[in-house]
Amino acid sequence: MALQERIPSPFCVDEGSKGEVMPEVKGKRGEARPGVVRELVSLWPSLPYLGYGVWLAWACLAYSGTLWLSDVETNGENLSQLYMVSTAAFGIVCLVVPFAVRRFAQLLERRGVVVGAGACAAVGCVFVVAVGPYYLGQFAEMRPLFWLGAALSGIGTGVVGLKCGVMYGSLPPRRVLLYAATSQIVVAFIYFAVIGSPPWALAPGGPSVVGILSFTLLPVAAALLTVLPTPPSSSEAGVLHLTFGESKRALPGAFWRLVALSFLLPAVASMMRGVVVDAHALAVTLEGNNILMLLRVLMAAVFVVVAVRVDASHMNFGKLYSLIAICMVVTIACVPVFGAQSNEWSLLIYCASSVFEFVMWCLLAFVVFQKRISPIIVFGIGRGAFMLGSAIGWSFGVYALPSISGGGQLRVRVLHDMRWCGVGAVVRAVLRARLRADVFSHRRERAVVREPDGCGSARAHAAGRRARQVLASA
């Protein structure tokens, strides 16, 4: 039988064609882009992944009220309403898309859809600013525009966040850790750059021009970064775009305990923070956010050093995740000592929640990388639970708790009772989670992908190396 000419495949590259296939595929993915963009990404491979940091920077600035609040808004009422509506919309989007994973995966491949989502969030931000007291806020009938804008901001950033999850799910664990940590530094850089900008305003006392532009354009900037051309990853070839029902059988049981913790801990932390924001002046909240951002820089620096210097065999994110959860439980349990409305102690709880959020993002990427489950399912469920828990906890602390307790000492007592109920549930979840290497077991599902001739051994070798790397890193 005559030997047929073998066609090079992006999934299996021999030594002779290694230098030819990648530029060809890369050029196809970025052929609609100017040459300078492709050259920039080739020199700065992590640039598209910094869209995650730009998105988080927008969230930190928007939910701190720095960008869009006016000088007459001295309490945290509007801030709490934006946070609850936006995060709830974000969480709902993330939890809905796993039911249509194949369709949504196709949509995320289109640059116009992702950029359109960023534009949707920008339009929502324009609505929020427009309803300010110096603009349309004097008309009571314009108030629903604020709710609409908050919902649009959550929907748009939800799509951008899922796109970031898809990108990070294709990376090996060490690179996930490095890129996520450097994104935290980008968050702090953008935050303090905007905070220190000149206070020029369109209306005296209103939000600054720089603040309005940052509030509206950061989601678009994050979307544009995520659609930059990136080198194809071998892990993308074997991703299983399963339906939601199929994913429940493919995902490990520890993942669902991880999701439960991702809902409970942010809910309790947000409840405590919501009570503090509701009870203090907005200036106190802004000062606390600045402190949290400085602590975020310290956290990012630590994880950058870990990603660069620590050997992969000494990393164990499962135990780190459980340790952070226990630390959050301890800080929440000590609230009666410092007071339910202590701003300093609530900052410590929220700082632990930020570290928890960072580690959870890395763990979700690890699950995608090893199990080859669609990142839309993993990040949709995991991140959706986190955001929805944050929204529910904040709304309970601000609105439901006062209506149940009636204020005064009774409110404090009810707050303590609810806190202990939440702590008890979290402790039980932590003790049952056992987030060790069993989250990333040696057993790995086979990807339903036809291998080109000659690629079977290469794929098996890559799978074994992948499993060892994830087990060492997690």
Write the DSSP assignment of 173-213 as a string of letters: HHHHHHHHHHHHHHHHHHHHHHHTS---BSSTTS-BHHHHH
Q: Is residue 22 within 8 Å of 42, Cβ to Cβ?
A: no
Instruction: Please count the residues of the chain.
Output: 474
Tens digit of pLDDT per residue, the chain (474 long)? 444 444 343 334 344 434 333 344 444 444 444 578 888 888 899 999 999 999 999 999 999 877 888 877 777 788 889 999 999 999 999 999 998 888 999 999 999 999 999 999 999 999 999 998 888 877 767 889 999 999 999 999 999 999 999 999 988 888 999 999 999 999 999 999 999 888 888 888 889 999 999 999 999 999 999 999 886 654 444 555 555 555 566 777 788 888 988 898 888 888 888 877 777 777 777 888 889 899 999 999 999 998 888 765 566 777 777 777 777 777 777 766 666 566 677 788 888 888 989 999 999 998 888 888 889 999 999 999 999 999 999 988 888 776 665 555 545 555 555 555 555 555 555 545 544 444 444 344 333 333 333 344 444 444 445 444 443 433
Q: What H or E segment, with its residue span, contains residue 383?
A: helix 375-395
CA separation for the pair 263, 455 (Å, rounded): 41
pTM summary value: 0.79
Task: Name the residue type at position 138.
Answer: Q
> Which residues, 6 or more positions from 259, have their beta carbon under 8 angstroms from its beta carbon?
381, 382, 385
CATH architecture of 43-442+458-473: Up-down Bundle (1.20)
